[in-house]
C-alpha cells in the first residue's frame, strides 16, 4: 500500500515524498483512515515504527480543512512526557505541514518561558507540549485551551510512569468536551486502559505489533558481570568492537555522569544527558552524538523515548531498568525503521530478578554468556547460605576472596593488553 491510498491530501503526500517516504508502516496503515473519519483511536505500536506520523498526518489534514481566517487559535494539542519527544514531534509537524497553512509551536520546561509566550501570543494552530510547562503557561494566561478540537496523548504510559496523572487530569478539565481524542503508547497497562476509558469516546483499538514485543530485528544479548567491572567491560566492548556510536542507559543521573567521566578518561568521547542537565546541554549533546562528534551518549530513562537516531547500531543497558517495559523502549532506540541493531545488557547478580521480569514481558529468554576475563565472582543465591554459615563458624570467605583475586588479575592483564586509543 502507498500513502495516496490512505486518503491523505496532495500537499501532505508532497511533504512525505520530499522526506523520501513511499510506503506507510503498519501502524500508519491502520490508524490514519479511522482518524480521518473522526474516530477516537487507542493506538499501540513499538517505538521506531512511525507512530508519530500515524497521528500527525491526519491531524494536520483535519485541522487544515477546518482552517478559518482571522487570528490562529490552538486547535490541536499533543502532550508528550519528555522534552526530547516534544521536540521530535514538533519537527515532524513542521516537516509534514510544509505545503499547507498550519502553524505549530513546541513548549517544554528547562528553557526560558518568555519566547514561548511570545510565539503563542502571535497565534498557532498546534501546540506540542510537556504537561508541566503547558500548565505553567495556562496559569500565566499565555495560552487558551478552550478551542482545542484535537487532542493527542503520546507515550501516555511514560507520562503515568513519570507522575503526570494529576497534570493530565487538570489539562483534560481545561479542554472543551467536544473534540477528537487519540492515545498512543508503546505499551498498555491497566492504568493506561483506565485513562483511555476516562476520555476516549468509543475508540478504535489499533495495534501494529503484539503488545510489549521487542523489535525482532534487534539482536539481544546478556553479559553476566560483577557490578564493579561493568565500566571496564563497557570499554572493552567499545574498543574491540570498534563501535563508533553507542547509546548507554543507566538507572540514575549520578550513574550516567560517573560512567561518562570514566569513558572520557579512557579516551572515549562521551556526553551524559538526564533531568539535571539544562535543555541546552541536552540538545547540544544529542546533536553532537548524531553528528558523530562524540562516540557515546550515556542517558537515563528520560531519553528512552523521543530519541530518534537514524541507524543507531548499538544500545547498552549498563543497568537494567526497574520497570520491565522500559527495557522495550530503551532497545527500541536501535533497529528503527527496519534497520538492524544490537542491544547488550550488563547484568550483575542483583539484577537477575529484573532480567526474569523482562524476559517474561517480551515472551522469550535473552541469550546469556560471560566474557573471558570478566566472569562474575558473584553467583546466584543458591551458594549464599553456605557462605553465610562459613562466616558464622569463623572460617571467613577465603574461597571467594581467592576467586576475586584471580578475577582482578585477569582484569589487570586485559587492561595492560588493551589497544591504545588513536
Question: Which pLDDT tens digit goes with each residue over 395-407?
Answer: 444 444 434 445 4
Share of residues in the chain with pLDDT > 70 (%) = 84
Amino acid 163: pLDDT: 86
Backbone angles phi, psi at 346, to 5 degrees: -95, 115
Amino acid 392: pLDDT: 42
Amino acid 192: pLDDT: 86
Q: Are 311 and 285 in contact (CB under 8 A)?
A: no
Report how far apart, in Å, the C-alpha atoms of 334 and of each of 67, 116, 169, 236 are: 38, 32, 33, 21
Region 3-207: CATH code? 3.40.50.300
Q: What is the residue-averaged pLDDT of the chain?
A: 85
- 301: how many CB neighbours lie within 10 A of its CB? 23
Amino acid 362: pLDDT: 86
SS3 317: strand
Does the domain at 218-380+389-417 match CATH 3.30.465.10? Answer given as no
pLDDT band for 93, please (50, 70, 90 cuts).
very high
Q: Half-sphere exposure (CA, 13 Å, Cβ side) for 189?
A: 14
346 Cβ contact list (under 8 Å, min separation 6):
223, 225, 230, 233, 234, 316, 317, 318, 319
Amino acid 215: pLDDT: 57
Q: For 21-61, write each residue's pLDDT tens digit.
A: 888 988 999 999 999 999 999 998 766 678 899 999 999 99
37 Cβ contact list (under 8 Å, min separation 6):
none
Amino acid 385: pLDDT: 45
Cross-strand bridge partners of residue 94: none
pLDDT value at 246 more than 70: yes
Q: Which residue has the higher pLDDT, 152 or 159?
A: 152
d(CA 369, CA 221): 8
Q: In what order do the strands lie in the sheet with 126-129?
A: 104-107, 126-129, 76-79, 150-154, 180-185, 41-44, 204-207
Amino acid 383: pLDDT: 45
Mean per-residue pLDDT, 166-177: 96
Amino acid 51: pLDDT: 87
CA-nearest of 409, 84, 417, 415 to 262 is 415
Q: Where are the domains of the chain?
A: 3-207, 218-380+389-417
Q: Is the pTM of this model over 0.75?
A: no
Q: For 280-299, write each residue's pLDDT tens digit.
A: 888 888 888 888 889 999 99
Q: Are 128 and 82 in contact (CB under 8 A)?
A: no
Q: Do domains 3-207 and 218-380+389-417 have the same CATH topology?
A: yes
Amino acid 409: pLDDT: 54
Q: Are 237 and 359 in contact (CB under 8 A)?
A: no
Q: For 312-324, write each residue's pLDDT tens digit.
A: 889 999 999 988 8
Share of residues in the chain with pLDDT > 90 (%) = 57
Mean per-residue pLDDT, 115-127: 97
18 Cβ contact list (under 8 Å, min separation 6):
98
Amino acid at each position: 500500500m502507498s500513502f495516496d491510498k490512505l486518503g491523505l491530501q496532495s500537499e501532505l503526500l508532497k511533504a512525505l515524498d520530499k522526506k523520501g517516504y513511499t510506503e506507510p508502516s503498519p501502524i500508519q496503515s491502520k490508524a490514519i483512515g479511522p482518524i480521518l473519519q473522526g474516530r477516537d483511536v487507542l493506538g499501540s505500536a513499538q517505538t521506531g515504527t512511525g507512530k508519530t506520523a500515524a497521528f500527525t498526518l491526519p491531524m494536520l489534514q483535519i485541522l487544515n480543512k477546518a482552517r478559518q481566517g482571522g487570528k490562529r487559535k490552538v486547535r490541536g494539542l499533543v502532550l508528550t512526557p519528555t522534552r526530547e519527544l516534544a521536540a521530535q514531534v514538533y519537527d515532524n509537524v513542521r516537516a509534514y505541514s510544509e505545503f499547507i497553512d498550519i502553524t505549530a509551536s513546541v513548549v517544554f520546561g528547562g528553557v526560558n518561558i518568555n519566547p514561548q509566550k511570545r510565539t503563542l501570543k502571535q497565534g498557532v494552530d498546534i501546540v506540542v507540549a510537556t504537561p508541566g510547562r503547558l500548565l505553567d503557561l495556562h496559569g500565566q494566561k499565555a495560552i487558551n485551551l478552550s478551542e482545542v478540537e484535537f487532542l493527542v496523548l503520546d507515550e501516555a504510559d511514560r507520562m503515568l510512569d513519570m507522575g503526570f496523572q494529576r497534570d493530565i487530569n487538570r489539562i483534560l478539565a481545561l479542554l472543551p468536551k467536544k473534540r477528537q481524542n487519540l492515545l498512543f503508547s508503546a505499551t498498555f497497562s491497566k492504568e493506561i486502559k483506565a485513562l483511555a476509558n476516562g476520555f476516549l469516546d468509543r475508540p478504535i483499538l489499533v495495534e501494529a505489533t503484539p503488545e510489549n514485543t521487542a523489535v525482532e530485528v534487534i539482536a539481544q544479548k546478556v553479559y553476566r558481570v560483577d557490578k564493579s567491572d561493568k565500566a571496564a567491560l563497557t570499554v572493552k566492548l567499545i574498543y574491540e568492537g570498534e563501535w563508533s556510536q553507542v547509546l548507554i542507559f543507566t538507572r540514575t543521573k549520578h550513574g550516567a555522569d560517573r560512567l561518562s567521566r570514566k569513558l572520557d578518561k579512557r579516551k572515549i568521547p562521551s556526553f551524559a544527558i538526564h533531568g539535571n542537565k539544562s535543555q541546552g546541554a541536552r540538545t547540544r549533546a544529542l546533536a553532537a552524538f548524531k553528528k558523530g562528534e562524540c562516540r557515546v551518549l550515556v542517558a537515563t530513562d528520560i531519553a528512552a523515548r523521543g530519541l530518534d537516531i537514524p541507524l543507531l547500531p548499538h544500545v547498552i543497558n549498563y543497568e537494567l531498568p526497574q520497570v520491565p517495559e522500559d527495557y522495550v523502549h530503551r532497545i527500541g532506540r536501535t533497529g528503527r525503521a527496519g534497520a538492524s541493531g544490537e542491544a547488550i545488557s550488563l547484568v550483575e547478580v542483583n539484577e537477575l530478578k529484573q532480567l526474569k521480569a523482562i524476559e517474561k514481558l517480551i515472551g522469550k529468554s535473552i541469550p546469556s554468556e560471560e566474557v573471558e576475563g570478566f566472569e562474575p565472582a558473584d553467583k546466584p543465591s543458591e551458594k549464599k547460605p553456605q557462605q553465610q554459615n562459613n562466616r558464622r563458624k569463623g572460617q571467613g570467605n577465603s574461597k571467594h576472596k581467592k576467586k576475586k583475586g584471580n578475577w582482578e588479575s585477569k582484569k589487570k592483564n586485559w587492561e595492560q593488553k588493551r589497544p591504545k586509543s588513536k
